[in-house]
Structure 1
């Protein structure tokens, strides 16, 4: 795919959604961090339902730490893998208090050192909470990048590196959100909605579908 096509893809995505936002509900970097940890192999809708009950009761590292694993589990048991997630969240809260003064670090290495926080989660927090121009590649972005030929790669790290190279700088800050939303609602896994896709004419996917 050439640079002109890539530019036009993001120009249209921006035109349709000038200020894209994550669908996870949060009001602080800490709330976002916990929501992203909980969102692994879960839907944003499911996470939001759980945090809508949790955050009014506990939305700081100390408050969640005080709940303990069992107390936290009661709030998040509707989310997949909630037992291991509860343990990770409690330990993350402990480390935030002991190592970072209760604040979420604005630093990839420090974020990735927290339990339950991998590269993707760190990138989401850096981009969404701290507005770093980084790319968090999830299954949606991986699929869209490969299917459209925007930034094909064999794994998420390869796709991330390619996107960081080829996405025009003026779009980089919000590209993560545009691509996720496009993958979630248009370029879906089982049957992409090519007939109603805003960038169908720019996409290089050979097996385009109709919306029938």
Structure 2
């Protein structure tokens, strides 16, 4: 598994430039986190993306787009990532082959390379992105709102029961992350403006 993780500064900087070209990493929900225009949007729970079950929809997308690999990156605290690299010589950024099984994906999420329990992506990440080599779809997720958004090109005809258009069902699931389980109206209105999609269920 070690060979999947980025373990030098140059490779990290190059990957970071690519990620920065597609994501507004200084933004978070309800702001628009994607830089690419004309995307369709579907939403799911944050924890799904960082789970074995989440791999099934990720793999489906990758196959539809003819991807060979997917970059999984923890992007919430880049200063922490740099300090972690100086101490442990790798980043919580990994290039995952599309032919992985869900068990393989889970191993990447929980890999610590002998460090203490809890030093893995699944535990540490508060913001994550997934970016395939086709750049035709991308995922951003944040733990604070318990939401993940999938942005994908109209040429991809993707449907999955775990991914829903933005609406009441999505906000109900996300409400557990808010005080008194109530999402402010301004948050909802801004989300609806930023992630308007022609997809409906």
TM-score between the two structures when normalised by the length of structure 1:
0.27
Q: RCO higher in 1 or 2 (8 Å CA, sep ≥ 6)?
A: 2
Larger strand fraction of residues? 2
Larger helix fraction of residues? 1
TM-score between the two structures when normalised by the length of structure 2:
0.28
